[in-house]
Amino acid sequence: MWQDSGVCLRFTALEALKEWQAEGIPPLRVAVASAWKQSRVATLREHGVKDVDYDWTFTTPFAGASTGPSDLVWEETSRAIDRDLLMRRDPILFFDDVALFESELDDYGDAKLSVKVRVMASSIYVLQRFWLRVDGMLVRLRETRVFVPLEAPEDPDTGCPVIVREVKHMAGSMAELTAAGAPCGKEAHSTADGTALVFEAVAPVGLERLEVRQAHILD
């Protein structure tokens, strides 16, 4: 069984920030900041102030990591997360919601990376979510879902325990979402759940990446 395999799934702020740095998304230019800069060109030059040349939204592609006797190999699959099983009202044996990092982006919005873990007798479910709102400009949502079935954990084709991982990236400017009929006020995007509901309502608008993979836990 996978419980005795020594495999550990890991979600850490340090690894997420390393992948943020490696991805190197170009920095956003906020209109109010550009206006402020133009009004102070001489002062900024006098003090040697340089433009921000990194992604100050901390957007990360991190989708978790693993340790164990053998590395997990994620391969494409037609298998899906069993959402019907997750919807069952099974007793929750363990739950936690952990913020890995969070920033108010110098009052330009919010960025947060968090992980939720839910353990039932039937399955283990992990949701890592990066949520970004830059006020008046855009929102991003990068979600990683990990599903470990416990009732019938073995892949019938291989006889090995299997883990399913879904990675979904969504993003949209306020103008794009408004054109799609979505509410774009600060109230609609005051939380990650609110932004998720907006993208669900206008899907597939904003969908940048959707990938489902599985990994077998080998003896």
Distance CA 85, CA 122 (A): 8
Tens digit of each residue's pLDDT (9 = 90 or more) over 93-145: 999 999 999 999 988 899 999 999 999 999 999 999 999 999 989 999 999 99
35 pLDDT more than 60: no
In this predicted structure, what is the pLDDT of residue 158? Answer: 66
- CA-to-CA dists, residue 172 to 24, 134, 169, 183, angstroms: 19, 11, 11, 12
Q: 128 exposed, middle or buried (CB, 10 Å; 0-12, 13-18, 19+)?
A: buried
In this predicted structure, what is the pLDDT of residue 33? Answer: 46
How many domains is the chain partitioned into structurally? Answer: 1
pTM here?
Answer: 0.87
Domain that includes residue 89, residue range? 2-216
Torsion angle in degrees (nearest 10) through CA of 64, 97, 133, 164? 40
Q: How many residues belong to the chain?
A: 219
- Residue owning tokens 């949701």: 127
Q: 13 exposed, middle or buried (CB, 10 Å; 0-12, 13-18, 19+)?
A: middle
Q: Which residue has the higher pLDDT, 44 or 130?
A: 130
